[in-house]
């Protein structure tokens, strides 16, 4: 086995596609894991396919990373935590690159500063794609010999890469929005018919009393460590809005002085609005001061569709809108207790490279858009659940050390790979951040 891995690491070239396919076929005992690994890795490359080397290298802000870095970091993750540590005889492709593409794993040593990732003009995009193929071949050859704990690391790597696929898209969007040409990433035709005007919100009663949220260790399927342990939460009588807040409703908020009335805002939020001259969601634009709003998306600049859910708003904005609407944000427990009754693979989520944007709610059922379209801000801080313990080793740095000053979001977005999220999933961002597909569902006390 060691000799086979050493040969694979030293001899593989991208042109040997036939050999790679044969290696995948040899992994019949792990067919599910192998096929999902291959599909996930292929989707990342497909998402970046329209980009030039310059597109993939630039960094628009410290919170974002270049597309090239996402492709490299996810590869470093598999090479480091799976192949280097568990495939005997594996030879690291280029030992110098660990310093460039480690993100925040202190146990793995020093790394290139995050705000300066856009300065990494070398290695090139083509070299990183070559490295990805090198690692993919070695991992598919080694996979049949891995025991359950190492297969769990491969699964963690797949889930990790799916998170970076969403980040890759949102970071590209932020980069292209900074270009005065406002170029589309994909030339996908957008439907010319306007989205239907939203109907007045309907409200549905949420669960009351003691409920259980979070994941139990015995639960089937994957879950990040921060999603558990499962525990009891007390829910007081409350109502949840049937759908996400729309662009039309947000325009009403703006027209009613939503961004200039300090009484609607948390103190930190009002300071953020004033310091950054915030007057609309992140990618909204007007050709003239009182003209119609348009929005920039991955498929270019378009007229605002009133019925589509508003996205790219901060926690501060979501909270201010809720107060203006005579409502509030749902707690994490309220949202999760309701979301557990819905199919997490349903809704508008990422299936393949192409047009990615939120869409108007469809149908007439209760609590629509629970999964997909936009991540939903909650009123809950990202703190550990009772009894939480991070995973052992370097991978234990994945979630636990970020449990300070951030807010929980639920439900996934149009850029979240389908099948990645579940009701217990805990996304988290700082209150001012809004370059992700973030939106809002309202709640009320009953």
Residue range 144-159, pLDDT digits in tens:
999 999 999 999 999 9
Say what the pLDDT of residue 220 is.
Answer: 81
Map residue 302 onto helix, strand or coil: strand
Among 3.90.1580.10, 3.40.630.30, 1.10.260.40, 1.10.10.10, name the CATH number for the domain at 203-445: 3.90.1580.10
The span from the CA of 333 to the CA of 377, in Å, is 12
Say what the pLDDT of residue 403 is.
Answer: 87
**40: exposed, middle or buried (Cβ count in 10 Å: 0-12, 13-18, 19+):** buried
pLDDT (average), residues 321-330:
98
- Residue 13 confidence class, pLDDT cut points 50, 70, 90: very low
Say what the pLDDT of residue 195 is.
Answer: 67
Longest dimension (CA), the chain: 70
Counting Cα atoms < 13 Å in the Cβ hemisphere of 169 gives 29
DSSP 120: -
* Token reading at 402: 């970020």
Residue range 188-213, pLDDT digits in tens:
666 556 667 778 899 999 999 999 99
Q: Which residue has the higher pLDDT, 168 or 397?
A: 168
Say what the pLDDT of residue 7 is.
Answer: 38
Q: How high is the mean pLDDT of the chain? A: 90
14 has a pLDDT exceeding 70: no
* Cβ contact 395:153 at 8 Å: yes
Say what the pLDDT of residue 188 is.
Answer: 62
- Residue 213: which residues within 8 A CB-CB, separation 6 or more? 230, 231, 233, 332, 333, 336, 337, 424
* Cβ contact 293:246 at 8 Å: no
28 has a pLDDT exceeding 60: no
Domain ranges of the chain: 2-177, 203-445
- Among 8-12, 172-176, 307-311, the range scoring the smallest mean pLDDT is 8-12
**What pTM does this model have?**
0.91
pLDDT (average), residues 346-360:
91
Counting Cα atoms < 13 Å in the Cβ hemisphere of 286 gives 10
Say what the pLDDT of residue 41 is.
Answer: 98
Q: What is the DSSP string of 419-438?
A: TS--TT--EEE-TT--SS-E
């Amino acid at each position: 086995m060691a000799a086979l891995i050493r040969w694979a690491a030293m001899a593989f070239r991208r042109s040997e596609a036939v050999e790679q396919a044969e290696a995948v076929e040899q992994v019949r005992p792990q067919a599910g894991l192998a096929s999902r690994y291959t599909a996930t890795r292929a989707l990342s490359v497909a998402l970046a396919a329209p980009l030039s080397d310059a597109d993939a290298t630039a960094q628009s802000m410290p919170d974002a990373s270049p597309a090239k870095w996402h492709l490299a970091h996810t590869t470093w993750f598999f090479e480091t935590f799976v192949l280097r540590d568990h495939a005997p005889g594996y030879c690291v492709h280029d030992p110098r690159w660990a310093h460039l593409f480690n993100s925040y794993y202190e146990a793995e040593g020093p790394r290139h500063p995050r705000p300066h990732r856009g300065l990494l003009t070398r290695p090139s995009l083509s070299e990183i794609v070559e490295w990805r193929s090198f690692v993919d071949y070695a991992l598919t050859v080694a996979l049949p010999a891995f025991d359950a704990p190492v297969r769990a690391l491969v699964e963690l790597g797949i889930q990790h890469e799916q998170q970076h696929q969403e980040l890759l898209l949102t970071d590209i969007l932020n980069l292209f929005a900074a270009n005065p040409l406002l170029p589309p990433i994909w030339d996908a035709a957008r439907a010319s018919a306007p989205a239907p005007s939203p109907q007045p919100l309907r409200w549905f009663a949420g669960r009351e009393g003691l409920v259980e949220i979070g994941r139990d260790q015995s639960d089937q399927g994957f879950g990040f460590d921060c999603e558990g342990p499962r525990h009891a939460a007390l829910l007081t009588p409350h109502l949840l809005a049937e759908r996400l807040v729309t662009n039309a409703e947000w325009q009403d908020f703006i027209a009613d002085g939503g961004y200039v009335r300090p009484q609607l805002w948390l103190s930190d939020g009002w300071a953020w609005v004033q310091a950054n001259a915030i007057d609309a969601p992140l990618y909204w634009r007007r050709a003239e001061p009182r003209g119609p709003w348009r929005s920039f998306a991955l498929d270019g600049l378009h007229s605002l569709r009133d019925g589509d859910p508003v996205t790219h708003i901060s926690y501060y904005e979501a909270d201010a809108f809720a107060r203006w609407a005579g409502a509030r944000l749902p707690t994490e427990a309220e949202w999760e207790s309701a979301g557990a009754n819905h199919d997490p693979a349903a809704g508008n989520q990422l299936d393949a490279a192409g047009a990615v944007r939120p869409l108007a709610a469809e149908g007439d059922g209760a609590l629509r858009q629970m999964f997909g379209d936009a991540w939903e801000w909650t009123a809950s801080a990202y703190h550990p659940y009772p009894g939480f313990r991070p995973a052992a080793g370097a991978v234990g740095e994945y979630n636990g050390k970020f449990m300070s000053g951030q807010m929980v979001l639920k439900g996934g977005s149009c850029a979240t790979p389908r099948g990645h999220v579940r009701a217990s999933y805990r996304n988290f961002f700082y209150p001012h951040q809004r370059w992700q597909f973030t939106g809002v569902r309202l709640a009320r006390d009953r």
